[in-house]
Structure 1
């Protein structure tokens, strides 16, 4: 009987030590859990799973970093393009100011030409303000949206230059 009780007691003690893999997490405490996890291989499995997850996250972070750098480079390129357009518009504004000065001295310019010059001057100022606004919100828009708007701004600037050149050729 005594041997039987001893056998039942040892069986209960061993059953208490036997746990599932989820219970063998050393971070949840218990020496028995830690020993069972190491001996049963669950500890190594957990380490491997965490390493795989860490490697996956590192690759994801590297991908995000590369995309971030590409977007920064694209934003810098767009800012450069906007700056070029803004400089061109500034040059147009300077040419218009010079023409206005010549007009004041010229008596050969008609009222219609003076009116056209005033409209050109107003359009050039509007283009400059548009370019300034583009630079401010270019980081919030998609690159293709900014490029489309920049192309439209360039088109308007070219048309303005053509009209200005036609008007300037008639003023002496």
Structure 2
């Protein structure tokens, strides 16, 4: 039987039904920003106990790379460009949050001196600190510490599940 001809309106209606039924996964975009000494930037957040990498939740219709650039500009007042994708990390549900896909980008080296706290988005960022990757573990969530250890200096993009490398089968 030949394929049924479908109008554009019917096609869009069918897609809308599927979109309403299919699961949606939260996407997060974060960046690894280093200073000339090789330390990474960690943000003290108003809504979390642990410090975290700069970035945030990807808005609908926004790419992860655009998201991390926007979030760093809005929250820290500095312009960055998303470089190489360092890792994609599937995060299981944690502390009330649903599972998510985290995209970690290399944001390069920030060599413009100290960050200006007057530019921070105070409702979200209460402080920003440069730390070595080894020292980061004392301040960040366990999954972030593991992700940094695995992905920060990896030669290729890493696929992680709960910050653990997935070995191809």
Return the TM-score normalized by structure 2: 0.21
Q: Which has the larger radius of gyration?
A: 1
Return the TM-score normalized by structure 1: 0.21
More helix by share: 1
